[in-house]
């Protein structure tokens, strides 16, 4: 049987945490549920479109090796497009 003092002496092991994908899926679920009231359908659609473009760029650049595309340049678009969609919804009545 494990005693409480021995449990308190345990150190956090990131390697053990990273080996279990259950925690990541649960964390994504919780974060998604917390942000669901914040993001509208239009904002989610725009982020999905940007994510699709990033995946296509990775496929063209890394997997197919057709052309070198720096996909890191697209990452700010994941933050900017929901903002633009929110502005369009707020001030112009939608997309």
Write down the pTM of the prediction. Answer: 0.65
Q: Domain limits of the chain?
A: 14-92
Q: What percent of the chain has pLDDT over 70?
A: 75
Q: Give the integer Cα–Cα distance in Å for 13 and 6.
A: 15
Each residue's pLDDT tens digit, 1-21: 555 555 555 566 666 666 666
Burial classification of residue 86, based on how many CB atoms lie within 10 Å of its CB (0-12 exposed, 13-18 middle, 19 or more buried): middle
Q: Which helix (H) or strand (E) holds 28?
A: helix 21-35
Residues 6+ apart with CB under 8 A from 81: 43, 46, 47, 49, 50
Confidence band, pLDDT 50/70/90 cuts, at residue 57:
very high
Q: Give the integer Cα–Cα distance in Å for 74 and 43.
A: 17
Confidence band, pLDDT 50/70/90 cuts, at residue 25:
confident
The stretch 75-79 carries a mean pLDDT of 92
Each residue's pLDDT tens digit, 34-52: 988 899 999 999 999 999 9
Tally of CB atoms within 10 A around 95:
13
> Which tokens sit at 13?
């092991």
Confidence (pLDDT) at 76:
93
């Amino acid at each position: 049987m494990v005693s409480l003092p021995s449990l308190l002496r345990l150190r956090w092991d990131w390697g053990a945490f990273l080996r279990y994908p259950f925690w990541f899926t649960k964390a994504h679920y919780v974060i998604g549920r917390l942000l669901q009231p914040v993001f509208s359908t239009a904002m989610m659609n725009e982020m999905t479109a940007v994510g699709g473009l990033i995946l296509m760029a990775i496929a063209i650049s890394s997997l197919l090796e057709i052309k070198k595309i720096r996909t890191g340049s697209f990452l700010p678009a994941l933050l900017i497009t929901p903002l633009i969609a929110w502005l369009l919804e707020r001030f112009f009545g939608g997309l």
